[in-house]
Amino acid sequence: MAVLEKIRVKFGILISVVIALALLSFIIDPNTVSQVASSMSEKYRVGKINGNSVSYQDFDNELNYQNRIFEYMYRRNANTDQEMQYVRDMAWKTFVDRYMFLANARKAGIQVGESELVDLTSGDMVSPVISQIFVDESGAFSKEMLSSYLQNMKYDQTGQAEMFWKYLQNTVATDQYYSKYNSLFTASNFINPLMMTNEIADNNNSANVEFVMLPYGYQKDTAIVVSDSEIREYYRAHKHLYRQNASRDIEYVVFEVKPSQTDIADVREEVVGVYDEFASAENVKNFLMKNSDRQYVDEWYKNGELNTVSSDVNAFVFDNSTRKGDVSDVITKGNTFYVAKVMDSAMVPDSVFVKGILLQGVQTDLADSLLNVIRTGKDNFGNVAAQYSAFHNPQAAETGDYGWMTKNTMFPGMESVFTAKVNDLYIIDTQYGKHIVKVTDRTSPVLKKKVAILEKEVLPSGNTVNEYYVQANELATKADGKYDNLKKVADEEGLVLLSRNYLREGEENIGSIDDRTKEISKWAFEAKEGKVSNVLNINNDYYVVAALKKIHKKGYTPVNEVASSINSILYSQKLGEKKAAEVAEKIAGLDSMQAIADTLDTTVSTREGISFSSYMSQGLDPVFIGAVSVAPEGVISAPLAGSVGVYVYKVLSHDTGSSFTEDDVKSRAAQMAYYSSQSLLPVMMQDADVEDNRARFF
């Protein structure tokens, strides 16, 4: 009894759970549980490759790893959108390589052995992946740098050096697999002498032709009928042409949030209110920090450079009557107000050649002493720097040519070199330390000015933003989630209902809303067909109310959606056949091109030098060009149904030229090999049924 009591106490909860699950099994269908589990799994699945799922957790782990690699290589985090997208692409490529490409390469019998990998990473045939990283000052591969890295790797307590080396080894191995796999195609793209001869002969063959052409015209032939069964038969035979990715058709109303006239007037009043203070301010830098969207830059501008701000600002600053201290009127450009103040004016060169000594951690007295030594001629730049290095701090002094400096390439803090006298010595303080500098040469000075610009951009106020939101919300409320309601309300209120078909998941450009529309595509891929969204906020710049018109699932476009285009194809084929038969009946028994032209009420045309090798550039029907290139001389052809009409032709002569050479054959073969290599991964991904859902998460 005591044992049973312990079981009841310690395992009572567990037994209760087991009993509860047993009871639930009678109530809940096991298939339902399975479907829910599958749905939850798919919801957090970043992708699927060759039947292998890539979970969010797996992808996030790889993404963190690729971020560490990026940080190690560039000594900073991936910050920009482009850099973060690059890191995500590299993480995704890891799974594509692992589950698809490397598996296919190994199935093809390709291997990369250990000894081969040693040679590729540190041996006699170093991979470009390695040789482009470990380079000397000239940019050439340095085995010494590579060897030093490997020797010092064990002293890195963080483990980052070893992590990066393993990353390089894996990248080199994968790169070698790609190289070998691609070589299967490039090496097999072999042209033997007979093929070479035939291709040169075919492409050097040109024809001189006389022909008549009877156009189809634009009037619909109601006697030609394309049946539904013919459309379905064509669809089945060409189904591979109708593959599609998942997409959505939407219609939407955009409310672009713009400043109101009140907002514009308020900002103008604000600028006018500080105008006098700006005009009289002695410390414009501090004033602009408090009152302007644009801060003061201690920079010399020449005529034309301020056009990037405003052409009116540039015109005021460089007007012949403008002097130092002059202040412009309030200048308006779009929704931005400017006031320009000329701070200084001088003849300044575009670039100067500077020599200097960098003194790090040096007190002012010592810097002045060194400057005086050079200035009095007791010693020169080189000796002063060498003596300072030897007796004070070997790492603190550098000397030499700083080189030609422009305002875009100078060290920060060295702006004064542009107005310095040639061969004059003086000291400059920068973030790097003190510099003893001398300008030894310069370009011809031109008139330049320093300018302080008070800038205020008009942004929508809180009240304005709220007004736009209220409008959008009223529309969404009236639509009540139904597409028909949205159309009706938009029509009644004169709102423009825009459309976007085949919107892909994660797409970031919809109409005039650039780079910020993931919110719309995310909603569209979660909504049901015919539903209308609530207000979608796009960075507070746009409010969007959208309706999901149609869902296009991944796979094949349904036959009913492409029936119209197939109908057009089959109609054109039947029309060509019918017109060709009619022409054949009319010209039966005629033995001259002129007689044929007279019967068809048209004229005989002639064309020389028709060549199949350059059919795209001749402005003729490709069907016609292909036919005449192989037609016998002197024989009137049967009617030929082309793309735009029916042709009857006679080849007058075939000429053999020499413009298409062996080099052209090789060039074309190289192009084909390149196209093959470029289509390799897309074909593999189609065969592996790759599902990329990254847009749902990032």
CATH assignment at residue 406 = 3.10.50.40
Arithmetic mean of pLDDT over the chain: 86
Q: Which of 76-90, 452-466, 524-538 has the lowest mean pLDDT?
A: 76-90
Backbone dihedral angles phi then psi of residue 169, each to the nearest 5 degrees: -60, -45
Token pair listed for 25: 């099994």
Q: Which long-range contacts (CB under 8 A, 24 or more apart) does 465-472 make?
A: 465/257, 465/540, 467/260, 468/255, 468/256, 468/257, 468/543, 469/535, 469/537, 469/543, 471/255, 471/543, 472/253, 472/255, 472/535, 472/543, 472/544, 472/545
Q: What mean pLDDT comes out for the span 464-474?
A: 96
pTM for this one? 0.68
Top pLDDT among 4 and 71 is at: 71
What is the pLDDT at residue 108?
92
Burial 271-295, CB ≥16 within 10 A → b, else e: beebeeebeebeebeebbeebbeee
Burial of 437 (0-12, 13-18, 19+ CB in 10 A): buried
Of 409, 443, 477, which residue sits at a domain end? 443
Q: Is residue 77 part of a domain?
A: no
Domain match, 497 and 547 both: yes
Top pLDDT among 518 and 13 is at: 518
Q: What mean pLDDT comes out for the span 262-284?
A: 96
Q: Is residue 21 part of a domain?
A: yes
CATH assignment at residue 236 = 3.10.50
Q: Which of 106-120, 512-526, 545-559 has the lowest mean pLDDT?
A: 512-526
| pLDDT(251) > 90 | yes
Top pLDDT among 381 and 133 is at: 133
What is the pLDDT at residue 183?
86
Domain match, 267 and 253 both: no
Model confidence at 382, pLDDT cuts 50, 70, 90, reads low
Of 526, 553, 580, which residue sits at a domain end? 553
Give me the number of domains the chain comprises.
6
Q: What is the pLDDT of residues 659-670, one digit of tens each?
A: 778 888 888 888
Domain match, 619 and 569 both: yes
What is the pLDDT at residue 564?
95
- Spatial strand order of the sheet with 433-442 comes to 397-405, 352-359, 433-442, 425-430
For 216-327, list the strands marked E by DSSP. 243-244, 247-256, 301-302
Domain match, 323 and 334 both: yes
Q: Which of 22-31, 348-357, 557-566 has the lowest mean pLDDT?
A: 22-31
| pLDDT(21) > 70 | no
Q: What is the pLDDT of residues 301-319, one digit of tens each?
A: 999 999 999 999 999 999 9
What is the pLDDT at residue 42?
64
- Spatial strand order of the sheet with 605-611 comes to 605-611, 205-215, 645-656, 640-641
For residues 374 and 386, the answer to whether their CB atoms sit within 8 Å is no
Q: Is residue 108 part of a domain?
A: no
Domain match, 342 and 281 both: yes
| pLDDT(477) > 70 | yes
The Cα-based distances of 586 to 111, 578, 583 in angstroms read 67, 13, 5
What is the pLDDT at residue 41?
53
What is the pLDDT at residue 381?
57
DSSP-assigned beta bridge partners for residue 214? 646
DSSP 8-state code for residue 123: S
Domain match, 438 and 372 both: yes
Q: Is residue 677 part of a domain?
A: no
Among residues 563, 557, 555, the alpha carbon closest in space to that of 234 is found at 563
* Angle, CA of 456, 461 and 464, to the nearest 5°: 135
Q: What mean pLDDT comes out for the span 369-393?
A: 59
What is the pLDDT at residue 400?
61
Q: How far apart are CA 104 and CA 117, in angstroms?
A: 20
Q: What is the pLDDT of residues 50-68, one digit of tens each?
A: 999 999 999 999 999 999 9
| pLDDT(380) > 90 | no
Q: Which of 42-46, 63-67, 454-458, 690-694 has the lowest mean pLDDT?
A: 42-46
Q: Is residue 276 part of a domain?
A: yes
Q: Which residue is listed with tokens 């003061």?
A: 296
Q: Is residue 319 part of a domain?
A: yes
Q: Is residue 137 part of a domain?
A: yes
**Domain range holding 182?**
114-188
The Cα-based distances of 68 to 155, 159, 173, 355 in angstroms read 19, 12, 20, 40
Top pLDDT among 656 and 392 is at: 656
Q: How far apart are CA 389 and CA 359, in angstroms?
A: 10
Residues of the chain above pLDDT 90, percent = 55
Q: What mean pLDDT comes out for the span 668-679?
A: 80
Of 326, 348, 370, which residue sits at a domain end? 348
Domain match, 274 and 313 both: yes
For residues 412 and 299, the answer to whether their CB atoms sit within 8 Å is no
Q: Is residue 594 part of a domain?
A: yes
Domain match, 568 and 650 both: yes
For residues 524 and 249, the answer to whether their CB atoms sit within 8 Å is no
